[in-house]
Structure 1
Amino acid sequence: MTERKLTHSTFTLEREYKASPARVFQAFADPVVKATWFDAPSEEWRHLGSSLDFREGGREHSEGQFGEGGPVSRFDAYYHEVVDDLRLVYDYEMRVNGQRLSVSLASIELTPTAAGTRLTLTEQGVYFDDLDNTEQRKEGTIELLESLAKAVED
C-alpha cells in the first residue's frame, strides 16, 4: 500500500520569448492558439478534450492520453486573477487515471524586455502520496514553456 503523505514545494522558472507580452498573453487566452502548444498531439500524446473559460472565475480543463492505451492525464484549473498582458494567477489539480497527483497555485508574470518578454512562472504545489514530485513537475513545465516558444516566436 502507498504511504499516505503530503509533500510541499515551490519552484520558479523564467523563460525569455522573442514576442511581445500581448502575444505571449494571447497564447494563454485564445483556445485555438493554446491548443497548439498546451494540448498539441504527438507520438507520445493523444489529446482527448479541453475547454477554456479564460477570465477571472473561469475554468480550464484538458485531458489526454500517453501512448496507445496508456494512462489518462487530466488538468483542471480555476483562474483567480487575469490581468491582460501582465499576469495570471490560477490553481490547478492534476490527475492520472482518476487519481489525484497534486494541487498547485501558479502565477505567471510577463515583463517586457528589449528582445520581447520575460515570463516568470512560480508554482507552489502539494503532491499526494509520492505519486508526483517537484522535479517531474518542473520538467513537464519546462517542456510546455518550450512549446509555447514555438507558438509565439516568429
Structure 2
Amino acid sequence: MSEPSVVHVSFSIERRYDASPARVFAAFSDPVAKRRWSACHDEGGLGEHMLDFREGGRETMRGAPAESGVYAMNATFQEIVPEQRIIYSYELLRDEFRLSISLATIEFHRDGAGTRLLFTEQAAFLDGHDRPEWREQGSRIGFDRLAEYLAQEQAPA
C-alpha cells in the first residue's frame, strides 16, 4: 500500500454565454435543467441526481463512466447569491475511494446581453486516485454542455 498523499491544485475556467445571468443561474438552480447538461461523460450518463438548491442544501450525483467504476459527487452549498455567485464544497468518490475534496466558486457577471461565468476550483487530490488535469478537462466539458443546453433552450421550436 502506498503512503497517503495530497496534491493541492487551483484552476479557473471562464466562459461567455449568450444568455442573461438569470438564465445561466437558473441552469444551475433548477434540478431538471441541471440534470440535462451536467454530466461530463457520455458513457454511463448521470445516473442518480438530487438537487436541494439552498444554502446548506446538498447536491448528489452518481454515475458510471466507462468501466472505471461508479463515480459519486456529494456537494453542500455554502453560499448562494442569486444571479451573482454560488459557492459549494464537494467530495468526489470512485467506488469506495475518495478522490478529492474541493471548494468551488461560480461567479455570474453581466456582459452586454450575455453572461461571463468564472468558475474557480480549489482542490485537494488524495492518494493519487485522480489527476488534476482530468478534473479540469471534465469541468470544461461540463461548461461546454451548458453552452449547448442554453443554445437549445433559446432556439425556437
**2:21 matches 1:8:** no
Q: TM-score, normalised by structure 1?
A: 0.93
**Who is 2:22 aligned against?**
22
* Alignment equivalent of 1:79, drawn from 73, 77, 80: 77
**Who is 2:123 aligned against?**
125
- State the 1:114 CA deviation: 1.7
Deviation string 1:51-97 (CA, Å, 9 cap, x unpaired) is: 10000010000000113x55110000000101111110000000001
Q: Residues 73 and 90 of structure 2 are in contact (CA less than 8 Å); yes or no, is this contact kept in structure 1? A: yes
**Who is 2:51 aligned against?**
52
**2:90 matches 1:92:** yes
Detail structure 1 runs of 4+ shifted over 4 Å in the superposition.
none
Cα RMSD (Å): 1.5
Counterparts of 1:75 and 1:126, CA distance in 2 = 14
State the identity %. Answer: 41
Q: Secondary structure at the match of 1:147?
A: helix
Q: TM-score, normalised by structure 2?
A: 0.91
Question: Which structure dedicates a bigger proportion of its chain to strand?
Answer: 1
Aligned residues: 152
Deviation string 1:89-113 (CA, Å, 9 cap, x unpaired) is: 0000000012100000000000000
Q: Secondary structure at the match of 1:4?
A: coil
Q: Residues 127 and 133 of structure 1 are in contact (CA less than 8 Å); yes or no, is this contact kept in structure 2? A: yes
Q: Which runs of 5+ in 2 are unaligned?
A: none
- State the 1:130 CA deviation: 1.1
Q: Secondary structure at the match of 1:35?
A: helix
- Going from structure 1 to structure 2, the CA distance change for 1:6 and 1:41 (only over 3 Å counts) comes to closer
Q: Which runs of 5+ in 1 are unaligned?
A: none
**Who is 1:111 aligned against?**
109
